[in-house]
Amino acid sequence: MTATRQPMAPEIAAAAADWIVRRDGGRMTAEDQQAFALWLAEPSHSDAVARLEMIWELLDGEEYEPVAELPRQRAARGRTLAFGTRWSRSSRRGALVSGAVAAALALVVVGGVQDWPMRMRADHMTGIGERREVMLSDGSVVQLDSGSAIALDYTGARRGVRLLAGAAMFNIAPDPARPFTVDAEGGSVTALGTAFAVRDEGGRATVTVTRHSVRVEGAGRTAVVGEGQRADFGRTALSGPLPAQGDAAAWTRGRLVVVDRPLGEVVAQIARYRRGYVAVTGPAAAIRVSGVYDLNHPLAALDSIEKSLGLSSVRLSDRFIILHR
């Protein structure tokens, strides 16, 4: 019997893509190479890189057909990449663009495969760049962020919602006899008031309270989080309450508000609003930034970040973008 290969975890796929881009771009220091070797020691990490390398092998024997609507696209600042040209293995191996292509294609495939189980489990789901308001049977209102999904579990004594992916803003209709609880990443948030936002961060979740308070459970502990506060929680951890950073509900108005956050984290949030692959690689990912970004025009937001921070970019159409220093 042939074993079924499990999908790569998104965070591992993203890390593998980052390492490939750095390695194939020839920008790894001795310390980077040592760190890469240590990272590869984990079987799931080496498997992710091997699977991306498999895509390399498939691409090596293929002719690249011209793309009619994109005959030439900027590959890096001051250079262009012509589609319709077959690249040799050696030339593609040595180019930063090549690594970006392989990584981007791999992550797009991974994302597409993992989307189907989510659709089977979700009662309500949004696509990329979509935000939607859902009215629940009890009068509560849920606003779903881009690429988000929830499953409902309403019983006679309990109003339950499971956040499967992304983020949601909850405005709760009062009903003391039926607590309203949101489950995420092995923890839970129970409304003690009326409005709060929960975001699945991949391995942990974050709740930010905009009105009244909530009770948060995680790692066998409980905490009450009040208005203007946030907490991180999950199966193995609970931290908070802490002061809220930025405006947790700004995305409901098409804005991302960040205060002193790593650029890699900010770009990952913006990337949720557009199809394709967007990332920051190398030291640029650690740059701390503050600002307000327009989520209705994510490409313009990325262009603004690149220009204001003096970064460079690798681009294959507007679907594959990697920012770097």
CATH class of the domain comprising 132-243:
mainly beta
Q: Does domain 252-324 have CATH number 3.55.50.30?
A: yes
Give the start-to-end residue ranges of the domains of the chain.
10-121, 132-243, 252-324
The token duo for 167 is 């983020």
Using alpha carbons, list the distances in angstroms from residue 234 to 69, 124, 204, 241.
45, 22, 5, 14
Helices 43-60, 10-24: crossing angle, 10 deg rounding: 60
Coil, helix or strand at residue 137: coil
**Nearest one of 5, 59, 90, 103 to 322, comparing CA atoms:** 103
What confidence score (pLDDT) does residue 172 get? 93
Distances (CA, A) of 144 to 55, 126, 191: 34, 7, 18
pLDDT of residue 66: 32
Q: Cα(22)–Cα(18) distance, rounded to whole angstroms?
A: 6
Bridge-based pairing state of the strands 213-218 and 277-280: unpaired
Q: Examine domains 132-243 and 252-324 and report if their fold is the same.
A: no
Record the pTM.
Answer: 0.63
pLDDT of res. 188: 92
pLDDT for position 127: 86
C-alpha dist (Å) from residue 273 to 31, 46, 133, 251: 34, 30, 17, 10
Torsion of CA 101, 106, 107, 109, to 10 degrees: 120
Residue 282, CA distances (Å) to 20, 44, 251, 263, 285 in order = 11, 22, 27, 11, 6
**Rounded Cα distance, 202 and 220, in Å:** 19
CB 208 within 8 A of CB 189: no
DSSP string over 101-124: HHHHHHHHHHHHHHHHHHHHH-SE
DSSP secondary structure of 150-199: EEEEE-SS-EEEEEEESEEEEEPPP-TTS-EEEEETTEEEEESSSEEEEE
Which residue matches tokens 């979740």?
205
Of 13, 85, 98, 100, nearest to 319 by C-alpha is 100
Q: What is the pLDDT along the chain (325 residues), one digit of tens a residue?
A: 334 445 556 567 767 777 776 776 666 788 888 888 899 998 888 887 877 666 555 444 433 333 333 333 333 333 333 333 333 444 444 444 445 555 555 555 555 444 556 667 888 998 888 899 999 998 999 999 998 999 998 888 889 999 998 899 999 998 888 999 999 988 999 998 789 999 988 788 899 998 899 999 988 899 999 988 999 998 888 887 888 876 777 888 888 888 888 998 899 889 888 877 788 888 888 999 888 999 989 989 998 999 999 988 877 667 778 888 7
Q: Which two tokens stand for residue 260?
A: 């002193």
